[in-house]
Structure 1
Amino acid sequence: MGTIWPDALPSSKGPKYKAVAETIRGAIDGGSLTEGTKLPPVRELAYQLGITPGTVARAYTVLTDEGLLEAGVGRGTFVAPPKTSLLDDVWARQTEPPKTHNVSLFSPRLIDVGQVAAIKDAVRQVAEADPWLFLNYPTRDAYKPVRQAVVDWLSDLPLGSLGPEDIVLTHGGQNGLCVVFQAVLRGPRPVVLVEDLSYAGFRRAAELMRAEVVGIEMDQYGIVPEALDAAARQHGAQLLCVSPEVQNPTGGHTPLFRRKEIVDVAKRHDLQILEDDCYRMGEARAPSFRALAPERGWHVSSISKTLTPALRVGFAIAPQGRSTDLRRAAEYGYFGLAQPLAELTRILLTDPRTPELARKIRQSMAEYVRVAVNALGGFDLNWDPEVPFVWLKLPSGWRAAAFCRAAEGQGVQIRSADEFALRDGRAPHAVRIAMNGHVSLEAFEGAMMRLRSLLDNPPEQISV
């Protein structure tokens, strides 16, 4: 150890045990201390450095907990062999391309462009945070810096007037939908309106609230205003659920003129409007319903399609004057996000690297969309380079269920239009194909070519 500290402990403003630990850590990283090297006894090193034995013992304990050192009873303290943490194993499995022929295209999976390293850095910072972060119940004041980080993160969106008090942190977008449902719906059997083809999470949230779900006719611009007006009048609905930026599953977009027509109907029938914005990866193309109707527009978003779905972090935003209702629903339901997770979210959203990471994720996912379009563009395909899935209307001879079964037989898992239709609704013969950044572009292209082969060769007899 004399070659590491030729004279004395390097000067440091922090606790001396941290200086000892950092010096040993640096020696291990630099190769001066190799695996199996025995460190001096605590009292010997303390005497050499002119510090207390307790300081050295604490440094050894810190490094042992990190896995850099290992102690044997009666033998001393040694440099441990390199170890991979459980967290590293999990991330490695998530980012390592599958070795099998099977490719799941059920849900979008983001490629790692550096966000894993940023999340690991954030986890380390949380681990070094004030110990009280790990001991206290969440409080509104404790969440304020996180909510402000969310406001800044969403600052380029046309959401209308927005402050930290309007934000509620949720466990992903689905939890955000449920919190809004709880804040809005009243009575024993409320009615919720959704698009004829829509995200199944709307229906699941409604079932939890014992609400009836009614589908509304759609055209190429989204919900048909006349059909919405008739349904609202007939059913006395309380809430309309829409995805105007990226309609799930068709990938369509509701332009501004249609959004204004929908707002007019909602005002006539006192409908609240819940906008699910979780699938948008690029810039918004029109003002949100919260901006167009500040008194009735609810907004739900998350980082699942922009950074990672693993953290399960989402944001629910109340209309003007309804923040208390939204916050009460969250506090009564789950008290709030775990404080360590909230702090990790704040660090990640304020990391100067994060906007560029989000841009690179969009860019990389667009490459997968390009491959899908090159393979399937000869068919009736709806796509957008900043939407992580494509919508394929099947050619004559194929039914959605049969095509999905045939695709699975070829090692490709996709979603049928039936999964997005109401139980008593009719679904078109179409499928949703999500981008999977966990497999190489070559493997993804292979999956697309297998789908194209099926499309080129429909069965002689139509099966259902």
Structure 2
Amino acid sequence: MDAYRRIADRIAADITSGRLRPGERLPPQRQFARRHGIAASTAERAYGELVRRGLVVGEVGRGTFVRAADAAPAGRSLVEAVGTAPAKVNLELNYPSAPGQSELLGPALAPLLRPDVLTDALRSAPADGTGAAREATAGLLATRGWRPSPDQLLFTGNARQAIAAALASLVRPGGRVGVEALTYPLVKEIAGRLGVRLVPLDTDDGGLCAEALAAAHRAAPLSALYLQPTLHNPTSVTTGQARRRQLAEVVADLNLPVVEDRIWSFLDEAGGDPFAVLAPELTHVVDGLSKRVAPGLTVGFLVVPPHRVEAVAAAVRSGGWSAGRFALEAGVRWIGDGTVGRLVAAKREDAARRQQLVAEHLGGFRVRCDPRAYFAWWELPARWRADTFTAAAAAHGIAVTPGTAFAVDPRRTPDAVRLGLASAAPPDLERALRALASVALRAPL
């Protein structure tokens, strides 16, 4: 058995026996590694295994905590039968899947499985993909007022790698990157691996505040800005045109490069234009197929300013972030035969139905969401903290993401949780929302 699994088994036994109790914080991974004389990577994998088993939850900036026990008090379970364990509903994961999705995706893969095709299909693709991929992707990403030039397109294994490649090409180790105060958690991980510092910028109901961006740059120059102006994760805010113009004026004055994350923009049926329309010479657009199609076979997209193509392509190559040719070819076929378009239409309808469930069951609470989005940001009642509510939800078999996971400044952690609406089956989602509403109305233990 692998060492990390043995370590995870020992910690799991301590949790099961009660030696480690719900809410108890595990040592930081590096400290744990030193204490037990193991490699830091082994400790990281052991902690990851515990997360996978649902025994602990990691809160970025705070640490790793033992989840509350699964057994719920009588009358509080998601299931009605007395003595049964609560249903497992994961509202942390957020990958939408349309009905009949596999049947739609399968036909495009069959030609790639021929031996004479498969040899080439299993190699890595160049950073700029293929001509067919560039043309297909340019059409997929086009909006009413914007169509990227195929020559500006680069490809990575997924959108996370696209973000990493863009930032690696723009920011040297030790550099500062402005981000919304609440941001995509993996951007924090990417920044840590690249050795760059994230600078939290104030937002309001309209999105990122232009004055906050200018003030942060005056305090100490920023090397780049990362933002999600369309269906921001976790708050669902879409920045309006007036605010976008203000931000564009600031980045132009500062000559500040921008990494624009549009991974959820496909849910915007109106086809709103990217921020890149307002700052084309500075903006690097990130998108991908993971949400539109599926996470298991995906491609990340980068649309970069013409003068930046080679620099970003070099970052893709040096980081080992190139797309697989099989996934790239599959993506081209799915785009070309209309599969992606059909999946997008189905997922827009699905997101709207799930948001209706949120409105029905959490309508009396402070929940920020957009009818088009696959997530909701729940600002908890005053008596609840994010960590205690997350533990209480876990006791009912429901996994939610605490607001601390999104906070860039660990000193400003919101008492809120994000609900990922995409992955749970609708009946499970409805039962989970009903149970969470009931939990929120009680006082914490």
TM-score, with structure 1 as normaliser: 0.73
Aligned to 1:38: none
Name the residue aligned to 1:455: 440
Relative to structure 1, is the Cα distance of residues 409 and 139 closer, same or farther in structure 2, using a 3 angstrom cutoff?
closer
Between the aligned partners of 2:319 and 2:357, the Cα distance in structure 1 is: 43
Asked if structure 2 preserves the Cα contact closer than 8 Å seen for 1:151 and 1:164, the reply is yes
Alignment partner, residue 167 of structure 1: 153
Q: Residues 157 and 276 (structure 1 numbering): CA distance in 2 closer, same or farther, change over 3 Å?
A: farther
Match of 1:262 among 238, 247, 250: 247
Contact 2:141 2:147 in 1 (8 A): no
Q: Does 396-405 or 321-330 show the bigger shift?
A: 321-330
Shift of 1:368: 1.7
Displacement of 1:328: 2.0
1:247 is aligned to 232
Instruction: Please name the residue that 1:73 is paired with.
Output: none
- Residues 197-222 of structure 1 show CA distances to partners (whole Å, capped at 9, x for unaligned) of 11112222222221111111111111
With over 3 angstroms needed to count, the CA separation of the structure-2 counterparts of 1:352 and 1:422, relative to structure 1, is closer
Q: Does 1:317 align with 2:332?
A: no
Aligned to 2:120: 133
Inter-CA distance 445–268: structure 2 relative to 1 (3 Å threshold): same
Distance (Å, rounded) in 1 between the aligned partners of 2:345 and 2:386:
34
| Partner SS for 2:154 | strand
Contact 1:245 1:277 (8 Å CA) reproduced: yes
Q: For residue 451 of structure 1, what is the amino acid of its counterpart?
A: L
SS at 2:163 equivalent: helix
Aligned to 2:206: 221
Native 8 Å contact 1:233 1:269 kept in 2? no
Tell me: higher relative CO, structure 1 or 2? Use CA pairs within 8 A at least 6 residues apart: 2
Q: Does the 8 Å contact 1:113/1:361 carry over to 2?
A: no
**Helix, strand or coil at the partner of 1:250:** coil
Equivalent residues, number: 360
What's 2:368 paired with? 382
Matched letter for residue 326 of structure 2: P
CA offsets 1:46-75 (integer angstroms, 9 cap, x no match): xxxxxxxxxxxxxxxxxxxxxxxxxxxxxx
CA–CA separation in structure 2 for the residues paired with 1:140 and 1:201: 22
Cα deviation, residue 139, structure 1: 4.5
How far apart are 1:335 and its partner, in Å?
7.0
Q: CA deviation at 1:231?
A: 0.5
Residue 142 of structure 1, CA deviation: 6.2
175, 190, 196: which one pairs with 1:190?
175
TM-score normalised per structure 2: 0.76
Kept after mapping to 2: 8 A contact 1:303/1:314: yes
CA distance in 1, matches of 2:122, 2:92: 39
8 A contact 2:298–2:327 mirrored in 1: no
AA at the equivalent of 1:256? Q
Deviation for aligned residue 1:240? 0.6
Against the structure 1 CA distance between its residues 235 and 286, is the aligned structure 2 distance closer, same or farther, given a 3 Å change threshold? farther
Equivalent residues in 2 for 1:273-352 (5 A)?
Answer: 273-280=258-265, 281-283=267-269, 286-334=272-320, 336-352=322-338
Provide the residue aligned with 1:14 in structure 2.
Answer: none
Q: Which residue of 2 aligns with 1:146?
A: 133
**Does the 8 Å contact 1:276/1:301 carry over to 2?**
yes
Q: Deviations over 1:227-250 (max 9, x none)?
A: 111101112111011101011111
CA distance in 2, matches of 1:387, 1:455: 23
User: Match of 1:88?
Assistant: none
